Structure 1
Amino acid sequence: MSGVSKGSESVKTPVRRLQRSPVESVETPVQRSPVSISWEQSVVEAATAIYEGRVDVASEILRRLSAVLNPMGNSEQKLMGYMLSALKSRVSPVDYPPPVAELFTEEHSLLAWSLYDLSPCFRLGFMAANSTILEAASEQPSTHKLHVIDFQIGWEKQYRNLLHELSKSQGTLKITTLADSFNGEERLRMIGDRLSKVAAEIGVRLVFKIVRQKLSDLSRDSLGCEPDEVLAVNLAFKQYRMPDESVSAENTRVKGLAPQVVTLVEQEVKANARPFTMRVEEALAYYGVLLESIESTVPMDDSEQARAEEGLSRRLGNWVACEGRDRVERCEVFEEWRVRMGMAGFELKTLGHVAPSLRLRLRPWGWNSGFTVKEENGGVCFGWCGQTLTVASAWR
């Protein structure tokens, strides 16, 4: 990602724009350089050859592209490197093992947190979720008790920000999270300790509860829900690993808890039921714009940027190289989430009033005008130079 310093008001024009899903809005395609077109077309040709079983042809294309790769280059070169690595894993998984187990580690969670710290499109998604939760609380002024159920604590800073917002009203916040094989009790307890310290410093009463139960056994009683509290379920960047288009048991169980609001934030890209070659095209288009957007926010040698990029390279590698149960990266577009949530019994709650307040957050943080915030079809869309990257929505 090339070095536009933080605070710059210049806007970079995306150089990639491949064919998009029919459910995604598309701006007028921009002109791409012949070099960019050439390597992207070669990557698609390699993917097509792999799909058709012509491994020798694909290997030759990958060898040729690897010879001109500059892994220390800009976002375009980095994307090329990630894609070549993923395709090599697809061709020869023994020699180039694709990332699978790594995606379920504490280290990978920290890499994701770096992405959330750097990218307005992700960070503002969490802020939209907080705004929705606080609005639900304000609709019941008779109680100052707010209870948020979060199945994994996707980003600790979301709750630091929520605590600071609650300090204005002197409310009580209860956070309930589930311990499992990945989110161990020790990890969650450390998060709870850090949040409790913040709460004590700003005068907010925090109750942090860790529950170890099967999803099928969850109930209002087992989660400690009280009649006089506002109940919210936070699903920010939680659903994207669902492997099919059916109604998940998790969503059905959440509906049974009768929360006042459920927040949903996800990437706006279709990586679930796509054929292999189309997944490659989708990855080129989406990750190209995402990497450029991050590049615009930080200096080129920023260490946190490197961590965020490492996490993205793993996700793209899994998305492209793996199939079946090993392919855990299964992002979907907002229209698909609307269908799934509707099938689970939820109704969409419009967030049009959230977009203007979040739009104002861009300039004070030094994020340049290439980033966009807009309400569309009931969700709040966060994007870069005309392409939506994440969407936040609320349900009840």
Structure 2
Amino acid sequence: MQKPKQSTRLASSMERFTWPKNLSSSRKRTIQNLLPAQNPTKKLTNLFDAHSQTSNDTGQPPFVDHPVANVLGSVSNTLSLSSSDQFNEVVQVPSNACVRSEVSEGSESINTPLPRKTSNIRTRLDQNLIDGGHQRGTSDQKSILNSKLPSRFLEESESINTPVQRSPVSWSRQSLMEAATAISEDRADVAWEILTRLSAMPNPVVFYSEQKLMEYMLSALKSRVSPIDNPPPVAELFTEDHLLSAQSLYERSPCFTLGFMAANLAILEAASEQPSTNKLHLIEFDIGLEEQYRDLLCELFRRQAGNQSTLKITTLADSFNGEERLRMVGNRLSKLAAIMGVRLVFNVVSQKLSELSRDSLGCEPNEVLAVNLSFKLYRVPDESVSVENPRNELLRRVKGLAPQVVMLVEQEMNGNTAPFMVRVEEALAYYGALLASLQPEFWWAELKRVRAEEGLSRRLRNTVACEGVERVERCEVFGKWRARMEMAGFELKPLGQELAEATKPRLSSYWLSRGCTVKEENGGVCLGWGGRTLTVASAWH
């Protein structure tokens, strides 16, 4: 007996097939026209090729009225994935691997060799349309294919024992850690081979912040291995560009902005403890965020209640903050103070650390004296760098001023005396969370985010690649700062949960919904992102 033709068998199977009730008649016709073809995949592919050749034509393609046209339009983006570099690089298929084809000749199926680096998305596309197309509308189909097919593609490739790269993110981190390990073991040639290979490959990371992190760490490790060919940033950390990047970071990351706000609240609380005077004198070693002083002026204006408040700001000029820049800040603040009716005295002094005293800074007995050390100490060398230990010397000088409150706000990262491998791990975790917190809320914030990222790149590279006096970035965790402050004679003034709660109104729903956290812990206010504490604000006297 002669075997029935394939189209006849398919037609009879369609007659026995029960259509879903919610399937439209147009969808039925489309599927019916696809099934009788001897090779639906080839037919769809040929149409796609014709569509690609006429895509630049302003007129309609010649097959616009074809029954496959609607399906082709919804899956053309998915078909293009089969030849993309992303899928070709992710899946490495052995040359002798075979895939069972859906096309049969008679009653026998055939095994078709699967070429190396070739996706079989097109082969499975017809079945995906038949099995799942009737469950969703045409408008949903493109998103379904674009989101589901890559995942299924990887899963099915694994089923034929194909070496698959599961996670590009993990792969990148793992390779970088292997290079760092080789560096720590004095195997510079091995490390350089890994770094060179990574440099020649496209960064496969999908998430933007993770991609930037991998680029920064790759550059840092290359500077560590070959500092002559890849000089790490040292002098760049004292330039105007880096100063601007620091300001952008303080403005764009809520963990830094809220640190300054917590400092303001603690300073105002100390002032309220002495109601006999309305004079507040703030010693500022590093004006990092001008907005901090604008908010302080606004709060003093709100609290003065008919009795004019006086705010004196004495700031110290250094190589990072020149006198000209500081005086420009003072001029802007003076204009704002005049509008609010708050008396502002802004002084810029240039003194050596050994010359600091109440007299040299113009301190008066009838004023509340506060010292702001927000993001200052981590850049001051300690005993591990210099026998003079400028960090402890600065704290002793500040203690000698007898201030009512000293505000300390620092980054929560173990990057000072930690071994090289610990610093690498800390940098990946810390800067990964920090970069994720910089996503702009509005388009006009994009420039500040880019500028902040440039500064973070320099910071990370300096942390990882440099040692000795060249390592400017020397962050500590709060426990170490607490021990150092206590050794200098300071006592912790617990900020409490009330101050932590007072900072939360500064957060918009945008930041809260994306993982920013504020909590009181060990007497300080911890500000974090995505479960990682990034900054800690604490008060001392």
Instruction: Give the TM-score normalised by the residue count of structure 1.
Output: 0.88
Q: Does 1:171 align with 2:171?
A: no
| Counterpart contact for 2:262–2:503, Cα < 8 Å | yes
In the alignment, what sits opposite 2:451?
307
Q: Post-superposition shift, 1:215?
A: 1.3
Q: Does 1:189 align with 2:327?
A: yes
Instruction: Give the TM-score normalised by the residue count of structure 2.
Output: 0.65
Q: Post-superposition shift, 1:100?
A: 0.4
Partner SS for 1:232: strand
| Counterpart contact for 2:248–2:449, Cα < 8 Å | yes
In the alignment, what sits opposite 1:337?
481
In the alignment, what sits opposite 2:129?
none
In the alignment, what sits opposite 2:190?
57
Partner SS for 1:248: helix
Q: Does 1:85 align with 2:229?
A: no
Q: Post-superposition shift, 1:363?
A: 2.9
| Counterpart contact for 2:243–2:320, Cα < 8 Å | no
1:243-254 matched pairs, under 5 angstroms: 243-244=381-382, 248-254=392-398
Q: Deviations over 1:34-92 (max 9, x none)?
A: 32222111111101111222122111211222212269960111000000111111111
Q: Post-superposition shift, 1:232?
A: 0.1
In the alignment, what sits opposite 1:146?
280
Q: Deviations over 1:138-184 (max 9, x none)?
A: 11111110000001212211111111111112411000011223322
Q: Distance in 1 between matches of 2:277 and 2:236?
A: 43
The structure 1 residue matched to 2:492, chosen from 341, 348, 354, is 348
The structure 1 residue matched to 2:346, chosen from 194, 208, 220, is 208
In the alignment, what sits opposite 2:525?
380
Partner SS for 1:345: coil
In the alignment, what sits opposite 2:270?
136
Q: Deviations over 1:111-151 (max 9, x none)?
A: 01101111110000000000001111111111110000001
> CA, structure 1 residues 366+343, in 2 after alignment: closer, same or farther (shift >3 Å)?
closer
In the alignment, what sits opposite 1:7?
none
Q: Does 1:162 align with 2:296?
A: yes
Q: Does 1:280 align with 2:414?
A: no
> CA, structure 1 residues 71+328, in 2 after alignment: closer, same or farther (shift >3 Å)?
farther
In the alignment, what sits opposite 1:226?
364
| Counterpart contact for 2:440–2:446, Cα < 8 Å | no
Q: Post-superposition shift, 1:106?
A: 2.0
In the alignment, what sits opposite 1:180?
318
In the alignment, what sits opposite 1:198?
336
In the alignment, what sits opposite 2:9?
none
| Counterpart contact for 2:254–2:511, Cα < 8 Å | no
**Once the two structures are aligned, what percentage of the paired residues are identical?**
68
Q: Distance in 2 between matches of 1:370 and 1:179?
A: 37
Partner SS for 2:299: helix
Corresponding letter in the other structure for 2:285 = F
| Counterpart contact for 1:244–1:273, Cα < 8 Å | no
Q: Does 1:361 align with 2:361?
A: no
Q: Distance in 2 between matches of 1:240 and 1:178?
A: 17
Corresponding letter in the other structure for 1:265 = V
> CA, structure 1 residues 387+65, in 2 after alignment: closer, same or farther (shift >3 Å)?
same
Two-structure CA RMSD over aligned residues (Å): 1.9
Q: Deviations over 1:326-354 (max 9, x none)?
A: 00100000000000000000000011121
Q: Deviations over 1:284-305 (max 9, x none)?
A: 1111111112237566981111
Q: Distance in 1 between matches of 2:172 and 2:222?
A: 16
| Counterpart contact for 1:244–1:272, Cα < 8 Å | no
Partner SS for 1:330: coil
Q: Post-superposition shift, 1:198?
A: 1.3
Task: Pick 1 or 2: higher relative contact order, CA cutoff 8 A, min separation 6.
Answer: 1
The structure 2 residue matched to 1:110, chosen from 218, 225, 244, is 244
| Counterpart contact for 2:255–2:528, Cα < 8 Å | yes
Partner SS for 1:380: strand
Corresponding letter in the other structure for 1:34 = S
In the alignment, what sits opposite 1:16?
none
The structure 2 residue matched to 1:241, chosen from 362, 379, 395, is 379
In the alignment, what sits opposite 1:121?
255
Corresponding letter in the other structure for 1:354 = L
> CA, structure 1 residues 116+301, in 2 after alignment: closer, same or farther (shift >3 Å)?
closer
Q: Distance in 2 between matches of 1:231 and 1:259?
A: 5
Q: Deviations over 1:174-196 (max 9, x none)?
A: 00011223322212111111111
The structure 1 residue matched to 2:176, chosen from 36, 43, 49, is 43
In the alignment, what sits opposite 2:536?
391
> CA, structure 1 residues 368+334, in 2 after alignment: closer, same or farther (shift >3 Å)?
same
Corresponding letter in the other structure for 2:343 = R
Partner SS for 2:513: coil
In the alignment, what sits opposite 1:30?
none
Q: Distance in 2 between matches of 1:252 and 1:281?
A: 33
Gaps of 5+ in 2: 1-165, 384-388
Corresponding letter in the other structure for 2:402 = A
Q: Distance in 2 between matches of 1:395 and 1:294?
A: 30
Q: Distance in 2 between matches of 1:150 and 1:205?
A: 18
How many residues are paired up?
364
Partner SS for 1:295: coil
> CA, structure 1 residues 36+75, in 2 after alignment: closer, same or farther (shift >3 Å)?
same
Corresponding letter in the other structure for 2:528 = G
Q: Distance in 2 between matches of 1:152 and 1:293?
A: 23
